[in-house]
Amino acid sequence: GEDVEQSLFLSVREGDSSVINCTYTDSSSTYLYWYKQEPGAGLQLLTYIFSNMDMKQDQRLTVLLNKKDKHLSLRIADTQTGDSAIYFCAESIEGNKLVFGAGTILRVKS
Amino acid sequence: NAGVTQTPKFQVLKTGQSMTLQCAQDMNHNSMYWYRQDPGMGLRLIYYSASEGTTDKGEVPNGYNVSRLNKREFSLRLESAAPSQTSVYFCASSEGRREKLFFGSGTQLSVL
């Protein structure tokens, strides 16, 4: 079945880069997404990448996709305390569904 | 800009009670979804509605029913609540299939 895996926790210092990793299983995924969840709030779409792309950059965010290894990463440059949140990786699969990972808690120390 | 609105934000139920979670979106989206979020398990899809008039089961539908009342509204009903249904529930919508989702702010439900 479909499965998306992420590491559970990442701690970085303010100003450093953060890299959050994700692996997925469905090779037919057309889109892969990164969502951010702040405390007490719903998920907000951060960025997404189409499966025929290797990289997408959006200001401080860089998404890298290794389709051969089914590996997705999100790099946040110059991480700020406001970036502290839970980050979810998700893949789109057949049947009108997104499958989410369990989320990575990012803690930014000032 | 309201986006996706869920009510209520918090609810406490006793085992066996029933309740309906309401969701409405004002983005004219075709598809709507109900997810539950449990610690360490990410989001799991309960039910979805690809378009007005259709509903389909997701990964964890047991104990729930849904109604797509019109294009804007998609409700989730617990007929006889159980402690295993204690969770945070999120409604979401998207323009079409496999499109990016827009989420509501969630309903925290506790079943005692």
Residue B9 confidence (pLDDT) above 70? yes
Task: Measure the CA–CA gap between A49 and B95, rounded to whole angstroms.
Answer: 17
Q: Does A8 touch chain B (CB under 8 A)?
A: yes
Chain B residue at shortest CA distance from A103: B42
pLDDT at A2: 62
Q: Does A63 touch chain B (CB under 8 A)?
A: no
Residue A30 confidence (pLDDT) above 90? no
Residue A86 confidence (pLDDT) above 80? yes
Average pLDDT in the B42-57 region? 91
Q: Are A31 and A49 in contact (CB under 8 A)?
A: yes
CA angle A23, A19, B95 (to 5 degrees): 60
Residue B23 confidence (pLDDT) above 60? yes
- For A104, counting Cβ atoms within 10 Å of its Cβ (0-12 exposed, 13-18 middle, 19+ buried), the class is buried
B 46-65: CB under 8 A from A: 48, 50, 56, 58
Amino acid at A87: Y
Query: Among A84, A91, A90, A89, which residue's Cα sits nearest to residue A105?
Result: A84
Backbone angles phi, psi at B85, to 5 degrees: -95, 5
A 37-56: CB under 8 A from B: 40-45, 48
User: Mind telling me how many Å the CA of B41 is from chain A's nearest CA?
Assistant: 5
pLDDT tier, B108 (very low <50, low <70, confident <90, very high otherwise): very high
Chain A residue at shortest CA distance from B9: A40
Percentage of chain B lying above the pLDDT 70 cut: 96
Average pLDDT in the B60-66 region? 96
Average pLDDT in the B68-96 region? 94
In a 13 Å sphere around the CA of B61, the CA atoms on its Cβ side amount to: 11
Residue A1 confidence (pLDDT) above 60? no
Cβ-based contacts of A41 with chain B (< 8 Å)? 105-106
Contact assignment for B4 to A33 by CB distance below 8 Å: no
Average pLDDT in the B84-109 region? 89
Percentage of chain A lying above the pLDDT 70 cut: 95
Q: Mind spelling out the 3-state secondary structure of chain B?
A: CCCEEEECCEEEECCCCCEEEEEEECCCCCEEEEEEECCCCCEEEEEEECCCCCCEECCCCCCEEEEECCCCEEEEEECCCCHHHCEEEEEEEECCCCCCCEECCCEEEEEC
Residue B41 confidence (pLDDT) above 90? no
Q: Which string of DSSP letters, residue by residue, matches A84-104?
A: -EEEEEEEEETTTEEEE---E
pLDDT at A93: 77
